[in-house]
Chains A and B, each alone.
Chain A
Amino acid sequence: MKNIKYEKLFGIVFSLFILTFSVIFLFSRKIEFSENENRYLASFPHLSFFNLQSGKLTEGIENYLADHFPFRDFFMSVKTKTELTIGKEMIDDVYIGSDEYLIQNYQKPENGNKIVDVLNQFYGDMNYINMNLMLVPTSITINEEKLPSYAPTYSQVEEMNAIYSKIKFDTIDVTEALRNGNQEYQMFYRLDHHWTSYGAYYAYLEFCKSNNITPLAITEFDIQEVTDNFNGTLYSKTNLYTLTPDKIHIFIPKNHNYEVNYVFSNRITDTLYEEKYLDQKDKYSYFLDNNHPLITITNQDIHNGKELLIIKDSYANSMIPFLVNHYEKVHVIDPRFYKFSIEDYLRENTNIRDLLILYNMNTIDQDLGILTIG
């Protein structure tokens, strides 16, 4: 730079620019929880010799600085805007689809065979039970046409078929049902990785078909919109603040007298929904209070003696409101959090004769809670 007259300003401007952030950082109030990202921000690492020697201390400080940096949300959106400007169609493993759809990528599955073995083994031990496996394809399969052109994807359907072909008990394929349902309703949230109540409803119809249950028709529900301001996990990952938030609907049947027991929290309620989450970022937790190791739901209007155990990920939370209409008692276990033997649980609860294993295609391969069910 040879414009001598002004040159001097360059260093001053930049020094001030940098120092402004340093100073704001030092004096700003640090928040513990990021609503926007739906996670606890890093806290300052513990000062100890071990942490210092292992490098954990410095790593912790680096995370702390990044998490509490001034105007963090603003910078996150600058990054996203930059990425979009230079032509990226995927941010943090989320495709930016058409019609304001954010679509979580499906990584090449790696654990298919392991899962098959664990499930078959489980069935072998418990074969007096009517066992059903439902693997739910995610938005990437059902909203395939909304993906950016040429997006490389692995086929969830192929992987699902590969697993189903080796499973020794009943399997339920909901792909077609969801594709058809998607013509009329929205099966998946646009900004969250979960399916909507509509998606869950269509899958519920398939479950009923496979288990000779007469499902409730869509007209038998009072469908309510509980929020129109749901910015889900994919929104948080991409920081695309300009997209229209999702709506959450729930399906309320005529009879809904439940006793919902969050067993490990010693809490009993009479509803499947937790209002408080509607004021927070994490609105999907409205369904059955996020994740719990074990929930039992008793339908006080039903006395058919049937009990169902659901082994599941969070997708099940929006389908349980449908299933409870057909069982006297529904047990819900999330093996990521339930640290006891599920086989023992079945032996203790001899009334359970039906079992549904419900996972979406992403979590089945990645969370691996399922591998602990044996």
Chain B
Amino acid sequence: MVFSSIPFLFFFFPLLLILYYIVPFKSHNVKWKNVILLIFSLFFYAWGEPVYILLMLFSTFLDYNCSRMMNRYQDKKKRKFFLFLSVIINLGLLGFFKYSDFLISTINGLFHLQIPLLNLGLPIGISFYTFQTMSYTIDVYRRDVMPERNYFTYLTYVSMFPQLIAGPIVRYQTVSEELYKRDITYANFNSGLMRFLQGLFKKVLIANNIGFLWTTISETPMNELSVLTAWLGILAFAFQIYFDFSAYSDMAIGMGRMLGFHYLENFNYPYISKSITEFWRRWHISLSTWFRDYVYIPLGGSRVKRIINIRNILIVWLLTGIWHGAAWNFVLWGLYFGILLVIEKFFLKKYMEKWPSWVRHLYACFFILIGWLIFAFDDMSLLTSYAEKMFGIGSHGILDSTFIFYLKNYFIVILVAVIFSIPTYPWIKEKLSHKKVYYSAFGFVLILLVYLLLLLVVISYLVADSYNPFLYFRF
């Protein structure tokens, strides 16, 4: 079940909230609320993955027990054994379900073999919850957190539906206290609801709309693409993936808050970045911090010789790339950013500081867009062919009528996307907070009407069964 769908919005989530708010709790004891949350989360997952839910149950059961065992022993060797057991089985499952076909087809290609593919469906969200459970066992090993006493509480943490299928990757330490004691208040409900709606609007009104432009352009025969259409396509994809992905995080954070949880922010206006380094501090923050804390720093981080540091950066980005999908373009995509980051860190940084701000921004945007180009095509020949069109090789001229038509049709969508990919919203909010009208009944009604109107439009898109993809089935 995806958040932007009729069953979720009108049945699943309201029913959950009603039950969640009416079950009793005494002085912050949220036991029964957790039970409701767990049942609904498992139902939520089973809705899309009626079979693979067993995999998630197994994976959490393993990590729960490994962590308990780690806590039982003081002996480092024994602790390490259970850590490795957990990590290896987790990575093994992830590897088996996500990468085995990729591996087989690579081997087939290299040695001209015909090993049949397994054609396993990738369990939804496996990359997200595997990383969550791994962060937990590693943190227990490091004694950063105490292991969870109750399996069902632990399962509640892993399976919690707001962040289960598309992130953010919530670490156990972020919510461990709130699993037992949290403020479930009407104020939280309100602000969470608002955040959720913002995410919903971003997903349905912006991401799906501009995503349709990308789909249209990417399905055009390559020899009919003009240079500008090709760039417009990649721009549309860049907006689609940002608004889609960050919308999921907004909705997750908002729903978390409605339930009394506080997740960390996952996106921070990545497209205003003035360098690739900055971009990765603003994009999918929960993933990059995960790799920083569990791979980069354990490898020695940057407090090592330069060559080792470069190696560490490349390892992290190779893994980041392959985390996004089992295909060569994701490997390439990771390495591409790894190399850019190495260049920035050891070479470009001192020059970039002297560049005017707009040059740095343009530089960052250019390389981000090229990044999305690599990300968008898992077929290498299509990727090169599309790239050629972007740079005028075999393209249908520089500008053609198709480009003008798309621009005409999507001008407002693109404009809205630009406006909301820079911090316009906080800026307006800040300006308004100084005005009296903002606090008046009139101001409130106005805001309410805008939200209601947008929700009405969202419903109309969902009812009309418009283009509404789930982009993270490969993650």
Q: Which residue of B lies closest to A49 (CB)?
A: B50
Asked if A103 CB lies within 8 Å of chain B CBs, one says: no
Asked if A305 CB lies within 8 Å of chain B CBs, one says: no
Bound-complex Cα distance A9 to B451 (A):
13
Taking a contact as CB atoms under 8 Å apart, the answer to whether A58 and B47 are in contact is yes
Report A336 CB to chain B, min CB distance, Å.
Answer: 25
Report A211 CB to chain B, min CB distance, Å.
Answer: 38
CB-defined contacts of A78 to chain B, threshold 8 Å = 456-457, 460
Bound-complex Cα distance A13 to B455 (A):
12
Taking a contact as CB atoms under 8 Å apart, the answer to whether A79 and B193 are in contact is no
CB-defined contacts of B452 to chain A, threshold 8 Å = 13-14, 17
Bound-complex Cα distance A88 to B466 (A):
14
Asked if B340 CB lies within 8 Å of chain A CBs, one says: no
Taking a contact as CB atoms under 8 Å apart, the answer to whether A62 and B197 are in contact is no
- Best-surrounded residue of B6, B187, B451 (most CB of chain A within 10 A): B6
Given contact pairs A18-B9, A52-B50, A79-B461, A10 touches B448 in the complex (Cβ within 8 A): yes
CB-defined contacts of A76 to chain B, threshold 8 Å = 460, 463-464
For chains A and B in complex, what number of residue pairs have CB atoms within 8 angstroms?
131
CB-defined contacts of A128 to chain B, threshold 8 Å = none
Taking a contact as CB atoms under 8 Å apart, the answer to whether A1 and B447 are in contact is yes
- Contact-residue bracket for chain B: 35 or more
Q: Which residue of A lies closest to B197 (CB)?
A: A14
Taking a contact as CB atoms under 8 Å apart, the answer to whether A90 and B409 are in contact is yes
Report B251 CB to chain A, min CB distance, Å.
Answer: 14
Report B473 CB to chain A, min CB distance, Å.
Answer: 12
Given contact pairs A7-B190, A11-B189, A61 touches B457 in the complex (Cβ within 8 A): no
Given contact pairs A1-B447, A10-B448, A150-B402, A21 touches B190 in the complex (Cβ within 8 A): no
Chief secondary structure at chain A's binding surface: helix
Taking a contact as CB atoms under 8 Å apart, the answer to whether A11 and B457 are in contact is no
CB-defined contacts of A79 to chain B, threshold 8 Å = 457, 460-461, 463-464, 466
- Binary CB contact string for chain A from 282 to 295 against chain B (1 if under 8 A, 0 otherwise): 00000000000000
Q: Which residue of A lies closest to B459 (CB)?
A: A75
Contact among A2, A8, A25, A152 with B186 in the assembled complex (CB-CB below 8 Å): A8
Comparing B29-37, B84-92, B273-281, B432-440, the segment that makes contact with chain A is B432-440
The 7 closest A-B pairs by CB, nearest first: A6-B444, A78-B460, A150-B405, A79-B460, A152-B402, A75-B460, A150-B401
Interface residues of B (CB under 8 A from A): 1, 5-7, 9-11, 14, 17, 47-48, 50-51, 186-187, 189-191, 193-194, 197, 209, 221, 401-402, 404-405, 408-413, 433, 438-441, 443-444, 447-448, 451-452, 455-457, 459-466
- Beyond known contacts A13-B452, A19-B14, A62-B5: 18 more, CB 8 A cutoff: A1-B447, A2-B433, A5-B444, A10-B193, A10-B448, A14-B455, A18-B10, A21-B10, A22-B14, A58-B1, A61-B7, A69-B6, A76-B463, A79-B463, A79-B466, A86-B413, A149-B408, A150-B402
Q: Could you list some 19 contacts between A and B, CB below 8 A?
A: A1-B191, A6-B444, A10-B447, A14-B451, A14-B455, A15-B17, A18-B14, A21-B10, A22-B11, A58-B47, A62-B5, A65-B7, A66-B6, A69-B6, A75-B459, A76-B464, A82-B457, A150-B402, A152-B405
